[in-house]
């Protein structure tokens, strides 16, 4: 597509878009940053056969653990795609939790293998707006639940 548009792509991504290296990952882990796994080759896991699914999930964890010298317990589903079979392989591989691409606050219904998240932004104002939206949604949920509870008590007293 870039060729069709006459756009010349750089040989390397700009520095702000480059992945971190293992030295940087170890430094971050040593400073308390959680380093999680995301598979070896980033395939859509729900479309893989059992052997490849297991290898993607297990070997990615092993590779990162060996490189940073720390236990890896978090996983992120590539493209956010997961199903019961994928979740089972994540548990078998030894992960404690997994993150989806679903944006929202967690309320305990999905459990630790399908955690939603509030996406970080490079722009602080957008990040603050995203967090504020999540907090307002949670507040509305609590108010609605309290109102329902209050109405139930009021009816019972009549």
What is the model's pTM?
Answer: 0.69
Which CATH number do you get for residue 48?
Answer: 3.20.20.370
The angle that helices 84-92 and 50-68 make with each other, rounded to 10 degrees, is 40
Please give the pLDDT value at position 158. Answer: 54
pLDDT at res. 153:
56
pLDDT in tens, 124-136: 777 777 777 767 7
Q: Which residues pair with 75 in a beta bridge?
A: 37, 98
**SS3 category, 115:** strand
Determine the Cα–Cα distance for residues 133 and 149; give it in Å rounded to an integer. 24
**What is the number of domains present in the chain?**
2
In a shared domain, residues 85 and 135: no
If asked whether residues 88 and 113 sit together in one domain, one would say: yes
- Say how many Å lie between the first and final Cα of the chain, rounded: 69
Per the listing, tokens 């308390």 go with: 32
Q: What domain range includes position 151? A: 123-158
List the structure tokens of 33.
């940053």
């Amino acid at each position: 597509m870039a060729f069709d548009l006459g756009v010349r792509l750089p040989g390397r991504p700009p520095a702000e878009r480059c992945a971190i290296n293992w030295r940087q990952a170890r430094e971050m882990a040593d400073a308390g940053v959680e380093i999680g796994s995301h598979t070896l080759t980033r395939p859509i896991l729900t479309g893989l056969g059992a052997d490849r699914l297991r290898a993607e999930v297990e070997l990615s964890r092993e590779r990162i653990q060996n490189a940073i010298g720390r236990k890896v317990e978090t996983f992120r589903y590539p493209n956010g795609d997961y199903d019961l079979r994928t979740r089972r392989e994540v548990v078998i591989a030894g992960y404690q939790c997994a993150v989806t691409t679903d944006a929202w606050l967690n309320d305990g219904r999905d459990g630790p293998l399908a955690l939603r998240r509030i996406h970080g932004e490079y722009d602080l104002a957008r990040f603050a707006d995203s967090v504020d939206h999540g907090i307002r949604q949670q507040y509305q949920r609590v108010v609605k639940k309290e109102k329902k509870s209050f109405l139930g008590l009021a009816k019972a007293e009549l």
